[in-house]
Amino acid sequence: MASDMHAHGDLHAHSLENDAHVHHGHDDHDHEHHETFISKYVFSMDHKTISRQFLVTAVIMAVIAMIMSIVFRLQLAWPGEKFAFINAVMGDKWGADGVLDPNAYMALVTIHGTIMVFMVLTGGLSGTFSNLLIPYQIGARDMASGFMNMLSYWFFFLSSLTMVISLFVEDGAASGGWTVYPPLSALEKAMPGSGLGMTLWLVSMSFFIISSLLGGLNYIITVLNMRTKGMKMTRLPLTIWAFFVTAILGVLSFPVLFSCALLLIFDRSFGTSFYLSDIYIGGEALSQSGGSPILFEHLFWFLGHPEVYIIILPALGLTSEIISVNARKPIFGYRAMVTSILAIGFLSFIVWGHHMYLTGMNPFLGSVFVFTTLLIAIPSAVKAFNYITTLWKGNIQFTPAMLFAIALVSTFITGGVTGIILADSALDINVHDTYFVVAHFHIVMGVSAILGMLAGVYHWFPKMFLRHMNKNLGYLHFWLTFISAYGVFFPMHFIGLAGVPRRYYHNMEFPMFDHLQDINVLITCFAILGACAQVIFLFNFFYSMFRGPKSTQNPWGSNTLEWTTPMKHTHGNWPGALPEVHRWPYDYSKPGEEKDFIPQTVPLREGEEDGGSHH
């Protein structure tokens, strides 16, 4: 198909970057000859390999976190019931006779959240797709620093490994919720999981932060400095815009989480009182005085809120690309989309207080956060409407990736609107920390980001593994996943509106919640269905990796540069010169053209306007 990229190799394009790459390429050249298994597949500095390493690690972590969710969903639907499955997963200590231990329940919800938020949807999503697509789509031979990139993965690996190890310590893993608010997380006497389990959690997060910073700095520098000739910022695919802003958010906010964790480590181990004051626990009055747990919350959510955009923006970026390619239409309102990403990125830093309306903060401060938080709905709405308009009068090709991308738009809307309730501090009073919140954030960022990630996997699988995933299994996987996602999280809103708090081991202590048990059963059934659907995906993923039919060079008829690389993975991505870019990436179905796509490497005709910089 679109293999006309060779025709456009403009050899005199010796820009500064290209020169740098010639040298870089030379180093690699030596290296390539002595490539061993270790340097090629383990300590690889190649962005494509690192991307696949991130993806496979994230898939494994996602499976662990998903199994956890099934265990605690069984407990919530049929509390006290004996399940061989629970005993098999949790062992005799935490799941004696197949009944889940209350402390283990707390550990499960904590680690499920931590793994999903950090390992799967931050490390897994950005790590996989920023690594894969940034060099490919901007026309670079690799990341700015391959070595830092390699470190980024291996710190991520260490972080994931530490988190998994923490599940096996004697007193259990961290159990204070994924937000690990002190004093609960700071004092071993407060709960068993706050001992060694919590220490390992903090170690794991420290590794994660290092990984995230190494990766993020690399992404930013690569996007700014290593775009190929003609790849102006206004010609970047929206994927790259999303990854770029995401990386900036991460670099600005993760260090704050690090300081937050560091102070917690001090409080836990060195007797300081940053977060502790006036505490009497375990029959003893602690000497710590003058600290405030609220300080922790401020530091945590200063990362925590940008974090949810660190999760969702890459998913939206992938969706933008996939929807445009498969609708065979330019993305509607490219500039508005870029502006929205930037606006969301900026606003994400001034809304963290909406997690803390009920901490006793001054009501005036609360009002300010209501205002800033609700403002974020505007750029989000623009994005949603632009996606819908991109579909209008399209020629939609329902690849599995496209199905997931459209589903993301749906869940992004459905989860987004309930955010309006939670952002409204007066209404938050009664739904704060209830299942309404759980439903909201799972739909708007959990499900949406997972759908975006799966869309990305189906779409770029041919680029990553040079093979296709099975289409029909993809369809089956999609419909089961989409149906069960709504089946799990839509009814959950009602449980929240009925006042059920989150993180309850069961609700039977309160007669007022008795009649809600049917809803919990329904939710768990859909959760099991959804988990089964992921088995289909796992099979398809790993089977196709080795046995799937070989892909063609540009299977979806895309304009972006990654589809101009040859059908094998080589150092430097392009043999010979780097491609030169002449147009924006969204010239799909342009009138007067023979094909319904024009790769970015095709020069503009005389008098033709570049779609990205319109007048």
428-467 positions binding another protein, by CB under 8 A: 429-430, 432-434
Is there binding between residue 22 and another protein (CB under 8 A)? no
Q: Among residues 201 and 505, whose Cβ is nearest to another protein?
A: 505
Indicate the SS3 state at residue 576: coil
Closest approach of Cβ 348 to another protein, in Å?
Answer: 17
Is there binding between residue 157 and another protein (CB under 8 A)? no
Q: How many CB atoms lie within 10 A of CB 490?
A: 15
Is there binding between residue 293 and another protein (CB under 8 A)? yes
Give the dihedral sign, CA 17/20/22/27. negative
Closest approach of Cβ 492 to another protein, in Å?
Answer: 11
Stretch that binds another protein, among 262-270, 391-399, 563-571, 599-607 (CB under 8 A): 391-399
Is there binding between residue 396 and another protein (CB under 8 A)? yes
Any bridge partners for residue 467, and if so which?
550
Closest approach of Cβ 391 to another protein, in Å?
Answer: 4
Q: How many CB atoms lie within 10 A of CB 516?
A: 18
Any bridge partners for residue 597, and if so which?
588
Kindly give, in sequence order, each residue whose CB lies less than 8 Å from that of residue 402, ignoring residues fewer than 6 positions away. 322, 323, 326, 327, 396, 455
Nearest in space to 133 (alpha carbons), one of 457, 597, 599, 467: 457
Q: Which two tokens stand for residue 202?
A: 């903090």
Stretch that binds another protein, among 46-54, 162-170, 176-184, 244-252 (CB under 8 A): 176-184
Q: Among residues 225 and 339, whose Cβ is nearest to another protein?
A: 339
Is there binding between residue 468 and another protein (CB under 8 A)? yes
Helix or strand run (H / E) with residue 55: helix 47-77
DSSP string computed for 150-214: HHHHHHHHHHHHHHHHGGGSTT-S--STTTT-TTTTT-TTT-GGGTHHHHHHHHHHHHHHHHHHH
483-502 positions binding another protein, by CB under 8 A: 483, 486, 490-491, 494, 497-499, 501-502
Near another protein by CB under 8 A: residue from 167, 198, 279, 578: 279
Near another protein by CB under 8 A: residue from 5, 50, 140, 184: 184
Is there binding between residue 328 and another protein (CB under 8 A)? yes
Distance between CA 608 and CA 294 in Å, rounded? Answer: 58
Near another protein by CB under 8 A: residue from 4, 479, 567, 604: 479
Nearest in space to 381 (alpha carbons), one of 417, 349, 405: 417
Q: Among residues 576 and 591, whose Cβ is nearest to another protein?
A: 591
Closest approach of Cβ 507 to another protein, in Å?
Answer: 7
* Contact indicator for 61, 124 with CB cutoff of 8 Å: yes
Is there binding between residue 24 and another protein (CB under 8 A)? no
* Contact indicator for 434, 500 with CB cutoff of 8 Å: yes
566-605 positions binding another protein, by CB under 8 A: 586, 588-591, 596
Any bridge partners for residue 284, and if so which?
281
Is there binding between residue 294 and another protein (CB under 8 A)? yes
Closest approach of Cβ 396 to another protein, in Å?
Answer: 5
Closest approach of Cβ 444 to another protein, in Å?
Answer: 12
Is there binding between residue 418 and another protein (CB under 8 A)? yes
Is there binding between residue 266 and another protein (CB under 8 A)? no
Distance between CA 345 and CA 335 in Å, rounded? Answer: 15
Is there binding between residue 350 and another protein (CB under 8 A)? no
Is there binding between residue 546 and another protein (CB under 8 A)? no
Helix or strand run (H / E) with residue 399: none
Closest approach of Cβ 373 to another protein, in Å?
Answer: 9
DSSP string computed for 111-161: HHHHIIIIIIIIIIHHHHHHHHHHHHHHT-SS-S-HHHHHHHHHHHHHHHH
Is there binding between residue 292 and another protein (CB under 8 A)? yes
Q: Among residues 42 and 512, whose Cβ is nearest to another protein?
A: 512
φ, ψ for residue 42 (rounded to 5)?
-100, -75
Kindly give, in sequence order, each residue whose CB lies less than 8 Å from that of residue 472, ignoring residues fewer than 6 positions away. none
Residues, the chain: 615
Near another protein by CB under 8 A: residue from 22, 84, 224, 604: 84
Q: Beta-strand (E) ranges in 222-327?
A: 280-281, 284-285
- Angle (CA) 513-518-522 rounded to 5° is 130
Q: Among residues 89 and 134, whose Cβ is nearest to another protein?
A: 89
* Contact indicator for 571, 600 with CB cutoff of 8 Å: no
Question: Total number of residues binding another protein (CB under 8 A)?
Answer: 131
Distance between CA 391 and CA 393 in Å, rounded? Answer: 6
195-214 positions binding another protein, by CB under 8 A: none
DSSP string computed for 498-551: TTPBTT-S-STT-GGGGGGHHHHHHHHHHHHHHHHHHHHHHHHHHHHHHHSPBP
361-390 positions binding another protein, by CB under 8 A: 361-364, 366-367, 370-371, 374-375, 377-378, 381-382, 384-389
Distance between CA 30 and CA 35 in Å, rounded? Answer: 9
Closest approach of Cβ 112 to another protein, in Å?
Answer: 14
Is there binding between residue 298 and another protein (CB under 8 A)? no
Is there binding between residue 272 and another protein (CB under 8 A)? no
Q: Among residues 246 and 507, whose Cβ is nearest to another protein?
A: 507
Near another protein by CB under 8 A: residue from 309, 334, 489, 563: 334
DSSP 8-state class, residue 330: P
Is there binding between residue 81 and another protein (CB under 8 A)? no
Indicate the SS3 state at residue 266: helix
Is there binding between residue 165 and another protein (CB under 8 A)? no
Q: Among residues 150 and 408, whose Cβ is nearest to another protein?
A: 408
Is there binding between residue 564 and another protein (CB under 8 A)? no
Is there binding between residue 403 and another protein (CB under 8 A)? yes
Closest approach of Cβ 186 to another protein, in Å?
Answer: 9
Is there binding between residue 95 and another protein (CB under 8 A)? no
Stretch that binds another protein, among 234-242, 270-278, 445-453, 563-571 (CB under 8 A): 270-278
Closest approach of Cβ 369 to another protein, in Å?
Answer: 10
